[in-house]
Amino acid sequence: MKIEIWRLAIDFGLMILIWMVQMLIYPSFKYFDKEGLAKWHKIYAGNMGLIVAPMMFIQVYLAYHFWKNFPDMFATNIMYTILVVLTWIATFLFFIPMHAAIDKNPEDLVLLKKLTTYNWMRVLLWTAIVVLDVFLLY
């Protein structure tokens, strides 16, 4: 299978996943009581990490692979790399700390709203990655 298909598959998977998180999962947190969210959030965060982390590492590998094997695609490579790095920065700077705060204080509705609002950043980033893939790889 061509590497471009693998890249599109990983990127598309992350985009669909983040849209589901944005539209379904994060908004549902406000409907849990304190004890329910405290239990569910630990399960959710752990399981989501098992799904998302490998895919994000694969994105980093794919960025490296394209730099190494397609250096003539400089503009595409730089845009892809920047977008992937921004998803990592957003995840580690905002979302991991917010999820840790939810574990400590699951009844904080302001924090739950902030999580959903800030997550639009990752929705836009992963959507932009897929748009880049579709228009510049194909």
Nearest to 108 by CA among 120, 98, 117, 121: 98
For residue 2, CA distances in Å to 8, 15, 102 come to 10, 20, 41
**pLDDT tens figures, 108-118:** 999 999 999 99
**pLDDT tens figures, 61-110:** 999 999 999 999 999 999 999 999 999 999 999 999 999 999 999 999 99
Residues in the chain: 138
Which letter does DSSP use for residue 71 in this model?
Answer: T
**pLDDT tens figures, 8-36:** 999 999 999 999 999 999 999 999 999 99
* Helix pair angle (74-90, 109-137), 10° resolution: 170
User: By three-state DSSP, how is residue 68 classified?
Assistant: helix
Which letter does DSSP use for residue 32 in this model?
Answer: S
**Cβ contact 119:22 at 8 Å:** yes
Nearest to 128 by CA among 89, 92, 88, 79: 79
Sorting pLDDT into bands at 50, 70 and 90, what band is 137?
Answer: confident
Residue 127 sits at the vertex; the CA angle it makes with 122 and 129, to the nearest 5 degrees, is 100
Please give the pLDDT value at position 1.
66
Please give the pLDDT value at position 5.
94
Sorting pLDDT into bands at 50, 70 and 90, what band is 136?
Answer: confident
pTM, two decimal places: 0.93
* Helix pair angle (3-20, 109-137), 10° resolution: 160
Average pLDDT over residues 37-57: 96
Q: Is the pLDDT of residue 138 over 80?
A: no
